[in-house]
Structure 1
Amino acid sequence: MITPRNATEPFWFLGGQARVLVPGHATNGSLSVMEFTDAAGHAPPLHIHEDEEEVWIVLDGKVTFFVGDQRFDLEPGQAAHGPRGVAHSYLVRTKTARLAAVFSPSRVEDWFTANGSPVTGVAEAPAPFDIEAIIASAESYHVRVAGPPPVG
């Protein structure tokens, strides 16, 4: 199945924009592909997906990925793997960065979309978010915070 480029509208998640490129329902839940666009310094808390394997592909910008005790400084066209059960995060090192993330299986996609806010305008600033509520909702998707966001 080919998903049209505009298959999903972008939404705000943790201060950056996200959108679903290949929804889990199109793959019978075997995988989901999402796109994230974040500003310099953006870093989600160190976290663990208990159920999903995750692969990140840098599309634009420079991003450092932290997986367990390893660090990967990646540029466009490079990728990193975050195995299920291993703490991971990333840090945007350029003015902006855009990455694709593949989750397998796809269930965690629902956590992102459930905690997002619609993007209503091109020049709109990131929507405010309640990090505590997002963290609290993560447990039901078998995602847990393992530490603060990385700083470098």
Structure 2
Amino acid sequence: MERRNFILTALAALSTLAFTKIKSILPMRTDKGFKVNSGEARFGKHYKMKGVTLNTLDIKISGKDTENDLSVFEQTGLTPNGGPPLHIHPNQDEWFYVIEGDYIFQCGDEKFKLKPGDTIFLPRNVQHAFVQLTEKGKMIVSYLPAGKMEAFFETTDKWTSPPTKKEIAKVFADHDMKVVGPPLKIK
């Protein structure tokens, strides 16, 4: 009987350990409110989009907080006359709110000029990009669902030299995006 109890106890311990490991890698919805101060990031890390732009992104609400339903970033635009390549998110909608600066966004074949206070919604599966018109800018950017965007910004932050177009396309693809054209140019 002792051997049987030992085996049952060992199996119970292993299943508890397995559940704890699985729980630690699965997105969990936070059950507590939180505040992220101005100029700070949710987990204290400011991401630079090296190679794509010079912008800084701060996580304000993480996919880890929302079971990957939503992520929200504050993007400080430090790339006048620049922006990301024309690309598609097949699995995510994207929403921008301009706080500071002027931008031109392309969504599909349409172009929109945005200024502080303006919002633009970019549906999944529609090509889009933006170009920053002013010396500095600031926007709130949301992804629904969060997808792999936090990991994307973490990856671009680690670049130590300018990536090639092929490397940029690969990193986009690795994070569920597809580059379909060059960055927008100011005409």
TM range (shorter): 0.7 to 0.9
In 1, the alpha carbon distance for the partners of 2:34 and 2:112 equals: 31
Look up the match of 1:73: 113
User: Highest relative contact order (Cα 8 Å, sep 6+), 1 or 2?
Assistant: 1
Unaligned runs of 5+ in 1: 119-126
Q: Which structure dedicates a bigger proportion of its chain to helix?
A: 2
Unaligned runs of 5+ in 2: 1-32
Report the secondary structure of 2:170's partner residue. Answer: helix
Structure 1 residue 9: deviation in Å?
2.2
State the one-letter code of the partner of 1:147.
G
State the one-letter code of the partner of 1:12.
K
- Count residues with an aligned counterpart: 144
State the one-letter code of the partner of 2:70.
L
Structure 1 residue 2: deviation in Å?
2.6
Question: Which of residues 115, 120, 130 is equivalent to 2:163?
Answer: 130
Taking structure 2 as the reference length, what is the TM-score of the superposition? 0.71
Hey, which bits of structure 1, 4+ residues long, moved more than 3 A? none
Query: Are the structure 2 counterparts of residues 3 and 129 from structure 1 closer, same or farther at C-alpha, using a change threshold of 3 Å?
Result: farther
Look up the match of 1:11: 47
Aligned-pair identity in percent equals 24
State which structure, 1 or 2, has the greater radius of gyration over its C-alpha atoms. Answer: 2
In 1, the alpha carbon distance for the partners of 2:99 and 2:124 equals: 23
In 1, the alpha carbon distance for the partners of 2:178 and 2:120 equals: 20
In 1, the alpha carbon distance for the partners of 2:174 and 2:135 equals: 34
Alignment of 1:46 onto 2:79: no
